[in-house]
Amino acid sequence: MLFQRTPSKSLLALAILVGLSGCCCGVPKSQYRMSQINAARLHEQGQMLAGQLNEAQQLANQMAMDRQQLEQANADMANRLNLANQRVDNLMAERENVHGKYRDLLASTGQNGNPLSNDASRRLEELARRFPGFEFDPKTGVSRFDETILFDSGSDVLRQDSAQLLREFSNIMNDNEARRLNILVVGHTDDQPINKGPTRAKHPTNWHLSTNRANSVVLQLTKLGINDTRLGSAGYSMYQPVAANTDGRGRQQNRRVEIFVLAPDAAVAGWDPATSRR
């Protein structure tokens, strides 16, 4: 009778271990290795992304700080600009103040300066802009009337269209501080002798024509309300030209009437200011 031998427990355990090492719980060994490699790669990528995220955050923080500094710099620049504008405004105001004092100084220097107030000078400058042929020099206070705006050629009779200009001039000279100032009217001619018979009968020489024209203006100013005691007249014939008597344009400039505004204490051509009643 034959007897079959039963495997021992040690041999059975060895067989199970060999089986497990060959199948790895049913997952192929190559697939398991690939999973390990993928997991390592994902870990590396995660580490890389984390580093990039950290760098991005640092960059964002730096940009926020730069923006804050830029906004602060803009605010500082705006404050500096406002301060600079205020300084410019102050300098302009100071300049205007000094300029005004300079104008007032010129107005107080007597006959070599302009004795008129700033307001009167401004009004006369406006008058000059409105009436071609009338000029006003704010430095000296001298008003100049071109012949054509006052008289016809060779005549001492005032033109009708000069009435408005002389009326407004008189209003200025009778207003405010200008009322205390004296007025000297001076006539001038060119160098051409008077040849026309009717003109020569009334004005034999340029001396007669220049003085007669000055007298006509003085009489008109008295009619317009300027006190006679403030007025004087003179004629210089052809001997005070403002342009060369070489052509028609120069001669026309020389045929003129000038009005000098004089300070109350100014003495001209023997005029005694003490006799002037204001």
Structure tokens at 2: 């034959």
Residue 120's nearest CA partner among 75, 163, 78, 177 is: 177
Q: Among residues 72, 107, 142, which one ends one of the domains?
A: 107
Q: What tokens does 250 get?
A: 């120069």
Helix (H, G, I), strand (E, B) or coil at 212: helix
User: Residue 23's pLDDT is what?
Assistant: 45
54 with 153, same domain? no
pLDDT score for 50: 82
Please say if the pLDDT value at position 109 is more than 50.
no
Q: What is the pLDDT of residue 1?
A: 45
Tell me, yes or no, whether 57 and 121 share the same domain: no
Q: Given phi > 0 = left and psi -120 to 50 = alpha, else beta, which region is 185?
A: beta
Question: Quick check: is 53 in a domain?
Answer: yes
State residue 113's pLDDT score: 73
* Residue 8 belongs to some domain of the structure: no
Boundary residue ending a domain (107, 122, 150): 107
Tell me: do 94 and 127 sit in the same domain: no
As a whole-number percent, the residues of the chain with pLDDT over 90 amount to 49
Using the predicted structure, report yes or no on whether residue 24 has a pLDDT greater than 90: no
Per-residue confidence (pLDDT) for residue 267, from 0 to 100: 60
Percent of the chain predicted with pLDDT > 70? 78
Position with higher pLDDT, 239 vs 86: 239
Tell me the per-residue pLDDT of 143-182, one tens digit each, with 9 for 90 and over. Answer: 999 999 999 989 999 999 999 999 999 999 999 889 999 9
**Is the domain of 133 the same as that of 101?**
no
Q: Are residues 95 and 207 both part of a single domain?
A: no
Query: Which residue type, as a one-letter code, is found at position 190?
Result: D
Task: Write out the two tokens for 84.
Answer: 């600079």
Taken in order 264, 267, 268, 274, is the CA torsion positive or negative?
A: positive
How high is the pLDDT of residue 92?
Answer: 62
User: Are the C-beta atoms of 264 and 180 separated by less than 8 Å?
Assistant: yes
Residues with Cβ within 8 Å of residue 19, at least 6 apart in sequence: none
Average pLDDT over residues 247-271: 83
Residues 43, 131, single domain; the answer is no
189 and 126 co-located in one domain: yes
- Identify the pLDDT of residue 22: 46
Among 111, 253, 138, 107, which residue's Cα sits nearest to residue 190? 253
Interval 68-90: pLDDT, tens = 898 888 888 888 888 877 876 77
Residue-range definition of the domain harbouring residue 132: 111-275
CATH number for the domain that contains residue 177: 3.30.1330.60
Run of H or E residues at 176: none
